[in-house]
Structure 1
Amino acid sequence: MSFRIRAAVDDDLQHLYEMAKLTGGGFTNLPPDRRALTAKLERSHAAFARIDGPVQDELFVLVLENVATKEVRGTCQIFTQVGQSYPFYSYRIGQLTQHSRELNRTFRADMLSLATDLEGASEVGGLFLHPGERAGGLGLLLARSRYLFIKMHRARFADRILAELRGVIDEAGGSPFWDGLAGRFFGMNFQDADQFNAINGHQFIADLMPKHPIYTAMLTESARAAIGLPHPSGRAAMRMLENEGFAFENYVDIFDGGPTMTARTDRVRTIADARESRVAAIGCDAGTQALVATGELARFRAAFGDVRDGENGITVAKDCADALEIAEGDTVLHVDRI
């Protein structure tokens, strides 16, 4: 069974909506709301349609498609420059050290400060794979295809890139971090705040969130324990990000306390290692397993396939070539599967 990554189209709305209902909450970039998803698709269409120009606040939505059945079984998103239309808020974890000469004691207190330090960075997010397809490395295909897209359209992206991981969500769908901190200032539970943010943006955070640093010692134990921890379902995603060169630099999500991972764009492993080659032949039965991509903007496609180096270029397995709709003489971007 062959899968490929391609640009999302209007006909994918129902598939995206059905997947959004499976996320279990706390997944701001894929809300189970048709109006919000339609707005995302419209924004993505505009980004794919812009041929060139400088970095702007844009969104690209990609989907994972079963080539045989045409079913959409996963999705991911790329934001070119966050924080341009609305402030991009994070909590920065810091420490305050104080010393009492009379007591001869030093106290160190962890603090959360509301920050917009990450404004202007690009973001990879919105990755969701249908539960029925969580095998065979398809999550890896979704994740790494974004980096190949970025490399192919490098001028459209910033020099810094981030990824927000969903934080700890309890069995009732609530967030211990939200309940112990922000929920006290907003008069709404986590589910309502998360849904409002997904549909309307988070300007309300700027309006109501306290601007002074928060001492973590004043939070509940459950809220403190959630700071910087990914949701159990996101641990594999965190490992993939770390393998790509992302690191946790003490920024967490203001809603659920999940970790924000950052990297220099050109040092992301897939971006740095990918190389461009001419397709010399199609039809090899063996070779090195690789992630192969082709096409600009709305014609972008990516898939796994066997690739073999040769004197005049590379040979690509036929099933991969068919999924990508490429022929001898075409140029592709490829990187070894890790």
Structure 2
Amino acid sequence: MSFVIRAATAQDLQHLYEMAKLTGGGFTNLPPDRNALTTKLKNSDAAFSRTADEIEAETFVLVLEDTDTGAVRGTCQLFTAVGQAWPFYSYRITTLTQHSQELKRTITAELLSLVNDLGGCSEVGGLFLHPGQRAGGLGMLIARSRYLFIASHRKRFGNKLLAELRGIIDERGGSPFWDAIGGKFFGMSFQEADEFNAIHGNQFIADLMPKHPVYIAMLSEEARKVIGLPHPSGRAAMRMLENEGYSYQGYVDIFDGGPTMLAPTNKVRSIADAHHGAVESTTLDKGEKSLIAAGHLHNFRCCFGAREVRGDAVAIDAQAADLLQIGEGDAVWSVLR
């Protein structure tokens, strides 16, 4: 089978909807709601259609297509500037140290403070791979294709990238973290709040979430244990992010307490190491296993292939050239697999 990453179109709605139903909840960027997905695809089309280089709050949706069948088997998203349409809320873990002279005792407490520190960052998110395709490195192809897209459209993205990982969700589909904090103020289950956020945005958080810091010690043990931990299904994604140069800096999701990972855009490995050059040959037999991308905006495509860097030029294999729909003289971005 041959797979390629490409720009999503309105015709991908049904594929995305079917995958959204498989996420298991807690996946805000891929809600199982046709209207929300339709809006997301319209916004993505507008982003792909805009040719100016200034940063605006936009969403790009990419999909993984099986070119043998035409089926969409995965997806990912890029957000150019979060927190512009409405504030981007996070909890930041901070510490407060207090000392009593009479008791001769010093106490250090950890707090959750509601902040908008990450507004203006670009975000990589919305990554989902169909359960039937979780082999052969396709998750890596989806994840790292985003960085080649950023490298080839660098002026459309900010100087810092963030990635939110889904937090711990129990067998009932609930969140111990949400139950301990948000659930006390909103009268909504985690699933109800998550679905509302996915469809309507998080302005309701600004309206009702308490603005004062929350003492972590006052939360239930179940809630304390999950703060900053990724869902078991996201551990591999966290390692992948760490390998790219992301780090956890004490920011967690306000819904499920999952970790937010951060990295300077230009220092993300797949961006910093990306090679840009014209294709010198499309008949390479053996070369370095790589991710190769070509095309601008709507025409962006990315796949696995073989390359041989020849100064400012590059040779690639015939199958990659076919998947990317390019020939000699066309420009490509590539990075070692």
Answering whether residue 114 of structure 2 is matched by residue 128 of structure 1, we say no
Aligned to 2:41: 41
Aligned to 1:325: 325
Aligned to 1:259: 259
**Shift in Å at residue 284 of structure 1?**
2.2
- The TM-score normalised by the length of structure 1 is 0.98
Q: Deviations over 1:206-237 (max 9, x none)?
A: 01100000000110000000100000000000
Q: Does the Cα contact within 8 Å between 1:100 and 1:106 map onto a contact in 2?
A: yes
CA–CA separation in structure 1 for the residues paired with 2:321 and 2:67:
12
CA–CA separation in structure 1 for the residues paired with 2:306 and 2:253:
39
Aligned to 2:117: 117
**Shift in Å at residue 180 of structure 1?**
1.0
**Shift in Å at residue 311 of structure 1?**
6.4
CA–CA separation in structure 2 for the residues paired with 1:92 and 1:23:
27
**Shift in Å at residue 312 of structure 1?**
7.7
What letter matches 2:259 in structure 1?
A: P
**Shift in Å at residue 155 of structure 1?**
0.8
Q: Deviations over 1:84-129 (max 9, x none)?
A: 0010000000000001111111101000000000000000000000
C-alpha RMSD of matched pairs (Å): 0.9
**Corresponding pairs, count:** 337
Aligned to 1:162: 162
Aligned to 1:268: 268
CA–CA separation in structure 2 for the residues paired with 1:180 and 1:95:
19
Aligned to 1:26: 26
CA–CA separation in structure 2 for the residues paired with 1:38 and 1:251:
30
Structure 1 residue runs of 5 or longer lacking an equivalent are: none
Aligned to 1:236: 236
What letter matches 1:122 in structure 2?
A: S
**Shift in Å at residue 159 of structure 1?**
0.6
Alignment of 1:58-77 (within 5 A): 58-77=58-77
Q: Does the Cα contact within 8 Å between 1:59 and 1:78 map onto a contact in 2?
A: yes
Q: Does the Cα contact within 8 Å between 1:280 and 1:312 map onto a contact in 2?
A: no
Which SS does the other structure have where 2:306 is aligned?
Answer: strand
Which SS does the other structure have where 1:109 is aligned?
Answer: strand
CA–CA separation in structure 1 for the residues paired with 2:85 and 2:311:
49
Q: Does the Cα contact within 8 Å between 2:276 and 2:312 map onto a contact in 1?
A: no
CA–CA separation in structure 2 for the residues paired with 1:333 and 1:293:
5
Structure-2 change in CA distance of 1:112 and 1:318 (3 Å): same
CA–CA separation in structure 2 for the residues paired with 1:185 and 1:315:
59
Identity of aligned residues (%): 65
Aligned to 2:203: 203
Aligned to 2:148: 148
- The TM-score normalised by the length of structure 2 is 0.99
What letter matches 2:190 in structure 1?
A: F
Structure 2 residue runs of 5 or longer lacking an equivalent are: none
**Shift in Å at residue 67 of structure 1?**
1.1
CA–CA separation in structure 2 for the residues paired with 1:311 and 1:92:
45
What letter matches 1:171 in structure 2?
A: E
Q: Does the Cα contact within 8 Å between 2:43 and 2:59 map onto a contact in 1?
A: yes
What letter matches 2:216 in structure 1?
A: T
Q: Does the Cα contact within 8 Å between 2:277 and 2:312 map onto a contact in 1?
A: no
Alignment of 1:42-57 (within 5 A): 42-57=42-57
Aligned to 2:223: 223
CA–CA separation in structure 1 for the residues paired with 2:299 and 2:277:
18
Which SS does the other structure have where 1:128 is aligned?
Answer: strand
What letter matches 2:329 in structure 1?
A: G
Q: Deviations over 1:167-212 (max 9, x none)?
A: 0000110001001111011101000000000000000000110000
Q: Does the Cα contact within 8 Å between 2:177 and 2:255 map onto a contact in 1?
A: yes
**Shift in Å at residue 283 of structure 1?**
2.2
Q: Does the Cα contact within 8 Å between 1:76 and 1:125 map onto a contact in 2?
A: yes
Q: Does the Cα contact within 8 Å between 1:110 and 1:216 map onto a contact in 2?
A: yes
Answering whether residue 185 of structure 2 is matched by residue 185 of structure 1, we say yes
Which SS does the other structure have where 1:271 is aligned?
Answer: helix
CA–CA separation in structure 2 for the residues paired with 1:152 and 1:172:
42
CA–CA separation in structure 1 for the residues paired with 2:256 and 2:312:
52
CA–CA separation in structure 1 for the residues paired with 2:264 and 2:280:
33
Q: Does the Cα contact within 8 Å between 1:66 and 1:73 map onto a contact in 2?
A: yes
**Shift in Å at residue 77 of structure 1?**
0.2
CA–CA separation in structure 1 for the residues paired with 2:311 and 2:278:
10
Which SS does the other structure have where 1:210 is aligned?
Answer: coil
Aligned to 1:313: 313
Which SS does the other structure have where 1:237 is aligned?
Answer: helix
Q: Deviations over 1:17-70 (max 9, x none)?
A: 000000000000000000000000000000000001311100000000011111
Which SS does the other structure have where 2:256 is aligned?
Answer: coil
CA–CA separation in structure 1 for the residues paired with 2:247 and 2:312:
39
Alignment of 1:86-125 (within 5 A): 86-125=86-125
